[in-house]
Each structure stands twice: as C-alpha cells, then as structure tokens.
Chain A
C-alpha cells in the first residue's frame, strides 16, 4: 500500500508497510520514501501508543522516472504491535531544503493474538443482499514455504464479484523474534440470496522443504530441494444474509453500500454551440459496475455520456470501488442553464436503511456563441486531448491535377536522339565491311604495276580465293576444280610461273597473262 504525496518542490514522499493488519505481538516493516529530493535529516516517527518503532536505516538509490533520473531515499522502521486496536501513524514530516513535506497517514489494524501456526478465516456475520463482503483466509506458519496454491470453496448464494480480482498476498512478520510467514487470500463476494449461508473452508496446498542432509545450506539445496506437500483448510464460516427492506423509490439505484458522490462542471460559462463536461464520481464499499445515471428529458440541454470508468480495489480486507461518469452537456439555448438536482437512492448496510446520494443543482451560463465554431467537441476533461476523430461523411472523386498540359504520346523526334549513335555505328561497321571483300582488293591490285614475284603471289591468292584453299597450300592438282573455261589457261600459267621461278623459262608475257586470268578468276 503506497500513498504518494506531491509537493510544491516537485518531490514526492510516500509511506507504506508490508501489511497493515497485524496481531498483537506481530512486527512488520514500515517505509517512508522520498523521491526527487534529499531530506535534510532522517524523519522521525511520532509516538503512537500501541506501536513500537525501531529504526533500521536508510537506503539511497536512483530511479529513472519518465526518462529522468531521480534520487530516491527510503527510511525503514520495524513496527511492532503491542496491543489490539486501530493505530494511525503520521502524517510524517520530512524536512527538505528548509521546507516540510508531509506523508499521508497510515493506520494499522491490530487484532488479538491467535495461534502462530494454522489457517484463519474472516467473514462478517451478517450482511444484506447486494452487499459486497470480503472473505479473508490466511495461513501463518514458522516454516519456510516454497510454493502454494489456493482452492476456493463453492460459494452458495453469493458470486465472486466480477469487477474485482481476488487478492493473494505473501509476507513475513516477526513474532517474539521468530520469523512468521503469512499467506493471505481476499475474495470479494456479492451476496445474491437471503438466508443463512455457510461457506466451506478454503483449501491451501503448500510446499515445505524437508529437513534432510541434501537441503542443508551449501549442498546445492536450491535446485534439488526435497519438499513435502502440506494441505490446510480454513475454518468454515456462516453468514446471515438479510433481504433488503421495502421502501425502494423510483430513483432506487440498486447500490448497496456506503457511498459518497461528487460532481462538477469543467466549465461553468460556455458559448452557445459549445459543450462542457459534467463529471460525476461515486465511490464506496459496494459494487458500482453497471450503474447508469438517470437522464433528464427536456431539461434544456442535450447530454452525451462517455462510457463509465469503474475502478475497484481490495483495501485492508475491504472492498472499494469508484465510478466516474463524464457527460458532455450541450445547452440548447443561450442564457442561464440549471442542471437539475441528481438524486440516487442507495441502501446503507451499516444503518440498514435507504439513503440518498444527492448532487445539488448546478448552474451554467451560456453566452452567445460563434456560429462558425468548430463542431468538434469532446467529452473529456480539461487537460485531456480534446481532438476527435474526423468522421467520414461521404465519398467522392479525387481533386483535379493543377499542372495538366503537354502531351503524353511518343514523338517521332525521339528517334533523333538515336541518329548520332547510329551514324557512329555505321561509320564503324563500313570499313570493316570493305576489308571483308578481298576480291575487290585483289582486283584493284591487278591494275597496279607488278613484279613477276608479286604477280605470282597475286595469282596464287586469286586461285586460293576462288578455290577456297589457303594460298600457301595450293597445288597444281587443286586447279582441276576450276571451271572448264579457265581451267586450261590457269593450269598453263601455273606451270609457266613455276618454270620461271626455278629458272630457264621465258617470262616475257607472264605478268600480262596473270592480269588476264586474274580478271577471269575475279569475275
């Protein structure tokens, strides 16, 4: 249980204890924590008749809150309950930089001392239909407990309250210098039927380490601890549930419990067309889930309600709940507007009578508004995000394109971009094509002035080209493949050139014959 109190110094102080329900002779720890400041000295606890405080020490640490590192100092005391009763500690004064911060007060409930070992059960003896009661069962033992599991009994004539969760606690206390382990389970129950109800015992299964050599410290006990299961059952309880008396009125809310109500408007003066938020909070020890506020018709305004926000908590063995309603109030006319009194009839189980929760009428001043004011309103309070989702009211085509124009068709001018490259390609390919036609080159050489050796070489190249044979490997027999029209002349010329090369033969007309037959070979 932690209660934080903000100060003007932006420091926070809190007070908490391991448990606030003690038996006489029990000890527990109490802590005072200061966040965001360094106290000038350790705080002193006020003397409380019935409690004994023993200062243990302080521990400074650093914590990161909202990405900001803060200094945190915790002062710890051992609190020992000396006698039964309710005892309040604090508020505790803490001096920080010549200013005094105060914690909240903390109340310990000390009961009569019972047996140290064994199961306990607490439940009220009488209650009313619709009331929330808390069934507390617990185990106190001096043995070391390793694991535990609870089995709830069937609750006849009552429901486990769905808006709150059962609270399972485990802590230690010191009794007569002996450490006592305490397990507690608080179960909130909504009474649904009148009559005498019996609540069977709640079963608790715990694991207890076995005293053995293996479990001794230093023998790797953590991993291989031998355990035994022990089963406990809490004492059975009986409960007398009374039906609600007659006297329910038209504004009966269905609430059973002791409640408080508060209400306020976020703005008491608004412009016409705007809205203000009416916040109504009800808190108490009964369930508030499912409660709806009455709606006034024709009250001069329209009300739009957000979903109610319900909080529940199990506190010190009791049930606590709070519901917050937020209504957007939109006046229908300018001028003063009176929100009528709100009255809810509830049943007080302590007094056993019906009472009324009353919100007095509230006044709202509506000034002339701006007709062009935004229609975006929200139902939340001041600091909350007031923006609302933009509703999609319709669907239409998308807007026009402002930069329309030109043409998106391909143009023949694009081809101009390729012309320079094409010209370059053609220029590159053309000489290559010329080199690849040797007949033209050989024919051209026939017209040039030649020596006999050049004429013979030219003749062999022409023959080789015509016959498809390499000039170097050309033999006289290859000439048989020539067309008949030139075969004879070519063979005779081949023979005469050979004879001239090796001496003795007449070479006077050989060059002229090479020109003549070469021309025929090229054609």
Chain B
C-alpha cells in the first residue's frame, strides 16, 4: 500500500515537474479519493488546478487543505493570492482552530490514556482527566461536523430569495467564499459574512469538506 502510494506520489509530482498539471491534478485527486485525506495532497491539487486557470476549484482544494493543516503558511499564502483575483469583496473566513482534527483526536486519545493511568492511582483525578479527554473528543467531532459549512462559488450565480425561484437578491462570482447553511435537493441556501442569505444551485458550489470527492 505504501509502495503504491509512493508510486502515485511520484506520478503526481513527476507530472507536475514535467509541466503537466492536468495529469498531476488527476494523480493527486485519485489519491485523495482513494482515502488519503491529506492536507499536502489537497494543497498540491490546488496548485495543479490553479495553473490550469481553475482558480475557484483551486480555492476549494486549498480551503480543504487548510482544514486539515491549519498552520501551514503556504496554504494561507496561496489562498490569499487567489482571493486577490476574485471579483467579490467578501471577508475571508479565518481558520477557526490551530489544531487539525487529527491532532485534536490524537490529543484526546493521549489525554484519555493519561486519565486511565492516573485513575488507577488517583481515581478522582483520573475521572477528571478522562472527562477532559471526552470534551476533546467532543470538540474533534464538532470540528469534523463543521467541515461542510464552507463553500466556494465555482461559477457565477444569481442568489435568489427562495429555492424554487423568487427574487434575485444579489449575484456572486467565481471564487466567492460563502457559508453553506443547508442543501435541499438541487438547491443550497448560503449566507455571507454580512448576514445576507439566499439560494443558488448546489452545482455552483464547491463544498469545503475534505471527505467529499476531490475537485478535478
């Protein structure tokens, strides 16, 4: 498995170095869809999409990478670079947690183990530490639940007052970053940081959830 992963990694990297971003993007997306939900892979995929001129898709990939590696400065720099090219001046969401879900999970497991070990000698301390571990585990779960709450517009779209039609409230351009409130059928309700809400086709959105299929 590791050898296959390394081979695929070389494929993406080799294609990138040889100037074939399409093949590189395909290789990295394949690895992600095969289960390697990795911040670096998403970051590389974003780069490969960006050089193809597919900036909104690249932003989706980089936003996903940022959820997985929130302290990676390269991701933030590339996102900033792409945001300067977008047409809509929308306040960019800041990474909410300096720890990635994996790090949070590891921390919870570590504290959990500590709680058990301490409980053998100091039952009350053990119970308290185990409680902290439970809270950390809960926060990790909440962090994972937030994965699907961000979205990036892939195409220009009118934002309507109702899912089935209604009045056009405002228009958003590719690269606009919004909050995804709910998805009903083929329509999604989104919100802007200034509080404005509306509906647009779900297909116009790239959802910032690393567990979903990688953008291609």
Q: Report if A41 contacts B (CB, 8 A).
A: no
Q: Is B37 an interface residue (CB 8 A)?
A: yes
Give B73's nearest chain A residue, CB to CB: A398
Given contacts A409-B101, A425-B130, contact A403 B40 (CB under 8 A): yes
Please pick, from B40, B81, B106, the residue contacting A404 in the complex, using a CB distance under 8 A.
Answer: B40
Q: Interface size for chain B: under 10, 10 to 19, 20 to 34, or 35 or more residues?
A: 35 or more
Set of chain B residues within 8 Å of A403, measured between Cβ atoms: 40
B112 within 8 A of A: yes
Kindly list chain B residues whose C-beta atoms are within 8 Å of the C-beta of A414.
Answer: 105-106, 108-109
Contacts of A411 in B (CB 8 A): 102, 105
B interface SS class: helix
Q: Pick the contact of B36: A398, A405, A416 (CB < 8 A).
A: A405
Given A396-B81, A398-B77, A409-B37: A424 touches B117 (CB 8 Å cut-off)? yes
Pick from B28, B41, B100, B123: contact of A425, CB below 8 A: B123
Q: How far is the CA of A402 from the CA of B105 in the complex (A)?
A: 25
Let me know if A400 and B47 touch, CB within 8 A: yes
- Judged by a CB distance under 8 angstroms, whether B110 is at the interface is yes
Report whether A420 and B113 are in contact in the complex, using a CB–CB cutoff of 8 Å: yes
Closest B residue to A427 using CB positions:
B120
**Docked pose: A399 CA to B82 CA in angstroms:** 14
B120 touches A401 (CB 8 A): no
Distance from A482 Cβ to chain B, minimum over Cβ atoms (Å): 36
Minimum C-beta distance from A433 to chain B (A):
11
- Is B158 an interface position by the 8 A CB rule? no
Q: Say yes or no: A398 contacts B113, CB within 8 Å.
A: no
- Residues of the B chain whose Cβ atoms lie less than 8 Å from the Cβ of A395: 81
Tell whether, in the assembled complex, residue B36 and residue A410 are in contact, meaning their CB atoms are under 8 Å apart: no
List of B residues within 8 angstroms of A405 by Cβ: 5-6, 9, 31, 36, 38, 40-41
Inside 8 A of B120's CB, which chain A residues have their CB? 421, 424-425, 427-428
CB distance from B60 to the nearest CB of A (A): 15
B116 touches A421 (CB 8 A): yes
Contact A402 B13 (CB under 8 A): yes
Give Cα distance in the complex from A425 to B113, angstroms. Answer: 10
In the complex, the answer to whether B44 meets A425 with C-beta atoms within 8 Å is no
Given contacts A418-B112, A420-B113, A428-B119, contact A408 B81 (CB under 8 A): no
Residues of B within 8 A of A409 (CB): 37, 68, 101-102, 144, 210-211
Least CB distance from A417 to B in Å reads 4
The answer to whether the Cβ of A422 comes within 8 Å of any Cβ in the partner chain is yes
- Interchain CA distance A501-B44 in the complex, whole Å: 91
Instruction: Indicate if the CB atoms of B116 and A422 lie closer than 8 Å.
Output: yes
How distant is the Cα of A158 from the Cα of B162 in the complex, in angstroms? 82
Partner of B116, one of A397, A400, A407, A420: A420
Contacts of A432 in B (CB 8 A): 123
B127-164: which residues lie under 8 A (CB-CB) from chain A?
127, 130, 133, 140, 144
Question: Which chain A residues (337-396) contact chain B, with CB distance < 8 Å?
Answer: 395-396
A247 at the interface (CB under 8 A from B): no
Whether the pair A404, B105 counts as a contact (CB closer than 8 A) is no
Q: Which residues of A contact B47 (CB under 8 A)?
A: 397-400
Contact partners of A397 in chain B: CB under 8 A: 47, 50-51, 77-78, 81-82
**Bound: A255/B15 CA distance, A:** 67
| B51 surroundings in chain A (CB, below 8 A) | 397
Q: Which residues of A contact B77 (CB under 8 A)?
A: 397-398
- B residues 41-94 near A (Cβ < 8 Å) are 41, 43-44, 47-48, 50-51, 68-69, 74, 77-78, 81-82
Instruction: Tell me which residues across on chain B come within 8 A of A396, comparing CB atoms.
Output: 81
Q: Is the CB of B112 within 8 A of A415?
A: yes
Task: Report which of B68, B109, B115 forms a contact with A408, defined as CB distance below 8 A.
Answer: B68
Cα A401 to Cα B6 with chains together (Å): 14
Q: How far is the CB of A496 from chain B (nearest CB, A)?
A: 44
Is there contact, CB below 8 Å, between A410 and B40? no
